[in-house]
Amino acid sequence: MDFNLTMEQQQIRAEIKKVCQEFPDAYWRKIDSEKAYPDAFVKKLGDFGWLAALIPEEFGGTGLGITEASIILEEINHSGGVATACHAQMYTMGTLLRHGNEEQKKRYLPKIATGELRLQAFGVTEPNAGSETTRLQTSAVKKGDRYLINGEKIFISRVLQSDLMLLLARTTPYDELKDKTRGLSVFLVDLKANQGKLDVKPLDLMINHHTNALFFDNVEVPVENLIGEEGMGFRYIIDGWNAERILVAAEAIGDGRWFVERAAKYASERNVFGKPIGSNQGIQFPIAKAYANIEAADLVRYQAATKFDAKEKCGAEANLAKYLASEAAWEAANACLTTHGGYGFATEYDIERKFRETRLLTIAPVSNNLVLAYLGQHVLGMPKSY
Ligand SMILES: Cc1cc2nc3c(=O)[nH]c(=O)nc-3n(C[C@H](O)[C@H](O)[C@H](O)COP(=O)(O)OP(=O)(O)OC[C@H]3O[C@@H](n4cnc5c(N)ncnc54)[C@H](O)[C@@H]3O)c2cc1C
């Protein structure tokens, strides 16, 4: 067992820190208040190849592991930024990499690696299906050499900041299926080619995620943009869940560290009743407790990432890491807000922004209830709730 990061991993952390220093709190505050997209930051990361970490070298990426990719995202959040703005560019291509054919990989991956093509929209969630993905209704009907897509999606992020969207749609009606996990297929949708057929309605949400409702009106996808086998899409999406959970866990750990460091500093400096507030256990212990939980979650995150990179089964560890890290980050967020008193609500302290951002990680991309359901059913063998 080795708990130390390699030289290369330490270097990656240091390099990301350096990039992030060019984008201080004021940058993220402005982006948040204007509900803008952090273009300059994403471009910089892309130019240095950091978003191509998981793309193999033969397709123009840097061919790093999930451990390294997770360090990149962790450090962005630890530095005060928000990796969710661009994390999907890093991992959405995983479905294409694992299940696409050689022609598709050669055609798209090198351009995704350079950032020439942005594939950071991932269309799964629907208003009538929610967490029950196998119930989704958006249909893809084959007509000659193309599929026609009709239906609607909700909460789909970064569509307006993408060239391509990975889409999960129904190719066999639910009632005709014996195995309800079949009948869904994955497509690569060319967003620019479908302007006018895909209505993108930005949603006004608690956090600045560029998230949209989508309405498909005969959106066209050429048959060569079907990924893998028709009807196997749900399986392909599940294959990407462990990577996503490990990366989201790392982002939460980055957030947690940011909150704990800010809280500990402020608690040591702010004097009330003639002494630093941090000398009171009511302030000090919640910060220390959050710190302990973040460190524990971090160990599980590295365990999950190490197993993932060794191609071992890691469903339990990836789910544990996502759960523990997002809950610990939320605990740290609350401790930090309490520590700052009224100032925690002032935008100039950035705490309320990070507070909103980190809360999402307990709900999306998967809610912690469903993570607990995975642990309860697949690890502990208890009955299914759905
Ligand atoms: C900012 C933002 C960005 C997002 N980006 C994307 C995106 O890019 N692409 C995409 O496809 N989706 C995206 N989502 C959607 C997100 O993945 C879903 O919101 C999330 O998976 C939960 O689904 P739901 O909102 O339909 O909740 P529901 O399924 O309606 O569930 C509501 C609550 O009930 C709980 N619940 C449901 N069933 C059970 C059960 N059996 N046991 C216990 N609890 C249960 C859930 O855990 C949840 O807490 C985004 C969401 C947000 C808020």
Read off the pLDDT band of 357 (50, 70, 90).
very high
* Phi/psi at 171 (5° precision): -110, -15
| CATH number of the domain residue 25 falls in | 1.10.540.10
Look at residue 2 and tell me whether its pLDDT is greater than 90.
no
Look at residue 378 and tell me whether its pLDDT is greater than 90.
yes
Pick from 71, 86, 114: which residue ends a domain? Answer: 114
On whether residue 152 sits in a domain, the answer given is: yes
Choosing from 367, 377, 378 the residue with most ligand 1 atoms within 8 A of its CB, the one to mutate for a pocket test is 367
Can you tell me whether residue 304 is helix, strand or coil? helix
pLDDT at residue 109, as a whole number: 98
Does residue 242 sit in the same domain as residue 372? yes
Look at residue 111 and tell me whether its pLDDT is greater than 90.
yes
**Rounded distance between C-alpha atoms, residue 173 and residue 170, angstroms:** 7
Residues lining ligand 1, CB < 6 A?
Answer: 122-125, 130-131, 155-157, 205, 207, 209, 211, 360, 363-367, 369-370, 373, 385-386
Residue 128 belongs to what domain range?
119-232
**Rounded distance between C-alpha atoms, residue 347 and residue 205, angstroms:** 17
Does residue 146 sit in the same domain as residue 89? no
Look at residue 209 and tell me whether its pLDDT is greater than 90.
no
Percent of the chain at pLDDT > 70 equals 100
On whether residue 355 sits in a domain, the answer given is: yes
Q: What is the rounded end-to-end Cα distance, in angstroms, of the chain?
A: 38
Question: 125-179: per-residue pLDDT in tens?
Answer: 999 999 999 999 999 999 999 999 999 999 999 999 999 999 999 999 999 999 9
Does residue 64 sit in the same domain as residue 185? no
Determine the distance separating the centroid of ligand 1 and the alpha carbon of 370, expressed in angstroms: 9
Does residue 351 sit in the same domain as residue 222? no
Read off the pLDDT band of 208 (50, 70, 90).
confident
| CATH number of the domain residue 187 falls in | 2.40.110.10
Pick from 114, 137, 163: which residue ends a domain? Answer: 114
On whether residue 1 sits in a domain, the answer given is: no
On whether residue 99 sits in a domain, the answer given is: yes
Choosing from 35, 82, 363 the residue with most ligand 1 atoms within 8 A of its CB, the one to mutate for a pocket test is 363
Question: 279-319: per-residue pLDDT in tens?
Answer: 999 999 999 999 999 999 999 999 999 999 999 999 999 99
What's the pTM value of the predicted model, to 2 decimals?
0.97
Does residue 198 sit in the same domain as residue 243? no
Cross-strand bridge partners of residue 151: 216
The residue whose C-alpha atom lies closest to atom 38 belonging to ligand 1 is: 131
The residue whose C-alpha atom lies closest to atom 37 belonging to ligand 1 is: 131
Pick from 90, 114, 138: which residue ends a domain? Answer: 114
On whether residue 36 sits in a domain, the answer given is: yes
Q: For residues 359 and 331, is the Cβ–Cβ distance under 8 A?
A: no
Residue 345: DSSP 8-state: G
Does residue 60 sit in the same domain as residue 166? no
Q: Which atom of ligand 1 is nearest to the CA of 88?
A: 8
Question: 239-276: per-residue pLDDT in tens?
Answer: 999 999 999 999 999 999 999 999 999 999 999 999 99
Does residue 102 sit in the same domain as residue 137? no
Q: Which atom of ligand 1 is nearest to the CA of 386?
A: 41
Determine the distance separating the centroid of ligand 1 and the alpha carbon of 209, expressed in angstroms: 15
Does residue 180 sit in the same domain as residue 255? no
Determine the distance separating the centroid of ligand 1 and the alpha carbon of 288, expressed in angstroms: 31
Can you tell me whether residue 334 is helix, strand or coil? helix
pLDDT at residue 1, as a whole number: 82
